[in-house]
């Protein structure tokens, strides 16, 4: 069989460090990623028959917001119009630059793979602006990191907020919900913890090559 036709597997599961039993992780509650092809019926569009678009779309997945978020920049001041307990738990520091906010949000999702060649590219969903990035998932098991660039972030639970595309290991990928082993969890915790002691070292360890100008978000 042609290696290009083999299915490269990537795993995902709801997770955040030290909290495997978060109420949002209940099966009937957590909104899992969906293949981009399945988010709507594209068959009436001319681009549906374009091989280049199909090659891109078949390996792209959409991720969704688990909660409502409403954060606004007014007169240079950040105003949070959402539950402050959720805000403090799942949002990081907000940076204000040039009359815009950079808002970091925990997507509550762990991804990993046994295929050392797979790269993960994080992309904005149409209508939202996020800081894009990519890293070699095959070398570095960790949770996703999400940063919005906006003056007003107003999203609802269930809204699509970003996309992930895989490449580097052929043309076909499968993203499957899999319960992580204790070894995977410990690896993810160590990888996330490394940045507290040696900022930048995680990127160096994951790959010596990068095309991402925003690698500081991943280290």
The dihedral through the CA atoms of 134, 16, 157, 58 has a sign that is: positive
d(CA 80, CA 57): 35
pLDDT band with cut points at 50, 70 and 90 for residue 218: very low
Bridging pattern class, strands 60-64 and 69-74: unpaired
Q: Which of 83-87, 121-125, 165-169 has the lowest mean pLDDT?
A: 83-87
CA distance 140 to 120: 10
Mean pLDDT of 151-176: 94
> Could you read off the pLDDT of 40-56 as tens digits, one per residue?
999 999 999 999 999 89
> Where do the structural domains in the chain lie, given as residue ranges?
3-218
Secondary element (H or E) of residue 141: none
With a cut of 90, say whether residue 209 has pLDDT above it.
no
Are the C-beta atoms of 166 and 122 separated by less than 8 Å? no
Mean pLDDT of the chain: 87
Instruction: Please tell me the predicted confidence (pLDDT) of residue 67.
Output: 93
Q: Which CA distances in Å does 134 have to 88, 95, 144, 184?
A: 26, 21, 10, 20
User: pTM of the predicted model, to two decimals?
Assistant: 0.87
Out of 128-132, 137-141, 149-153, 193-197, least confident range:
193-197
State the Cα–Cα distance between residues 138 and 86, nearest whole angstrom: 31
Separation of alpha carbons 30 and 164, rounded Å: 18
Angle at 174 between CA 64 and CA 127, to 5 degrees: 30
Residues comprising the chain, all counted: 219
pLDDT at 208: 52
The pair of three-digit structure tokens given for residue 170, joined into one six-digit string: 């052929």
DSSP H or E stretch at residue 1: none
């Amino acid at each position: 069989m042609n290696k290009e036709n083999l299915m490269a597997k990537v795993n995902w599961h709801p997770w955040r460090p030290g909290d495997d039993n978060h109420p949002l992780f209940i099966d009937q509650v957590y909104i899992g990623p969906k293949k981009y092809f399945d988010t709507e019926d594209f068959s009436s569009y001319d681009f549906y028959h374009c091989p280049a678009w199909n090659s891109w779309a078949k390996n792209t997945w959409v991720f969704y917001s688990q909660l409502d978020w409403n954060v606004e920049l007014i007169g240079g001041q950040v105003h949070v119009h959402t539950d402050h307990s959720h805000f403090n738990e799942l949002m990081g520091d907000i940076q204000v630059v040039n009359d815009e906010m950079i808002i970091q949000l925990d997507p509550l999702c762990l991804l990993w793979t046994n295929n050392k060649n797979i790269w993960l590219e994080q992309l904005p969903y149409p209508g939202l602006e996020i800081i894009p990035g990519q890293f070699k998932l095959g070398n570095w098991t960790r949770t996703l990191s999400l940063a919005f660039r906006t003056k007003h972030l107003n999203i609802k639970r269930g809204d699509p907020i970003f996309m992930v595309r895989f490449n580097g290991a052929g043309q076909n990928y499968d993203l499957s919900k899999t319960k992580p082993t204790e070894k995977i969890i410990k690896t993810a915790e160590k990888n996330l913890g490394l940045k507290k002691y040696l900022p930048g070292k995680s990127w160096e360890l994951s790959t010596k090559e990068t095309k991402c100008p925003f690698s500081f978000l991943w280290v």
